[in-house]
Homo-oligomer: A and B are copies of this chain.
Amino acid sequence: MFDYQLHHIVVTWLRYAGDIIKNSFERDIWIDTKESDRDLVTEMDRFLEKDLVQRIRSGFPGHRIISEEGFGDTVRDTKGFIWTIDPIDGTMNYVKQRENFGTMIGLFYNGNPIAGYLYTPMDDKLIYGIVGEGVFVNERRLKPMDVSHLKDSILLTSNEYLLRNDLNLQEIHAAAFSSRATGASILKFMQVIEGKAATFVMPHSHVWDFAAGWAICEALGMKCTQSDGSPLSILQGSSLVVANPTVHQEVLEIINQ
Interface string of A170-210 (1 = CB under 8 A from B): 10010001111111000000010000110000000000000
In the complex, chain B residues whose CB is within 8 Å of the CB of A197 = 96-97
Q: How far does the alpha carbon of A170 sit from the alpha carbon of B182 in the complex, in Å?
A: 17
| A3 within 8 A of partner (CB) | no
Q: Name the residue on B nearest A196 (C-beta).
A: B97
Residue contact B153 to A196, C-beta cutoff 8 Å: no
Residue contact A96 to B153, C-beta cutoff 8 Å: yes
In the complex, chain B residues whose CB is within 8 Å of the CB of A97 = 154, 191, 196-197
Tell me the number of copies of this protein: 2
Q: How far does the alpha carbon of A98 sit from the alpha carbon of B163 in the complex, in Å?
A: 28
| A240 within 8 A of partner (CB) | no
Interface string of A137-157 (1 = CB under 8 A from B): 000000001000000111000
Beyond A98-B196, A196-B97, whether A159 also contacts B177 by CB under 8 A is no
| A34 within 8 A of partner (CB) | no
Residue contact B183 to A183, C-beta cutoff 8 Å: no
Q: Name the residue on B nearest A162 (C-beta).
A: B159
Residue contact A173 to B159, C-beta cutoff 8 Å: yes
In the complex, chain B residues whose CB is within 8 Å of the CB of A38 = 177-178
| A99 within 8 A of partner (CB) | yes
Beyond A162-B159, A163-B162, A163-B163, whether A177 also contacts B96 by CB under 8 A is yes
In the complex, chain B residues whose CB is within 8 Å of the CB of A28 = none
Chain B: minimal CB distance from A125 (Å): 10
| A77 within 8 A of partner (CB) | no
Q: Name the residue on B nearest A92 (C-beta).
A: B178
| A123 within 8 A of partner (CB) | yes
Q: Name the one of B92, B96, B152, B181 contacting A159, with C-beta atoms under 8 angstroms.
A: B181
Chain B: minimal CB distance from A164 (Å): 11
Q: Name the one of B152, B170, B196 contacting A163, with C-beta atoms under 8 angstroms.
A: B170
Interface residues of A (CB under 8 A from B): 38, 92, 96-99, 123, 145, 152-154, 159-160, 162-163, 170, 173, 177-183, 191, 196-197
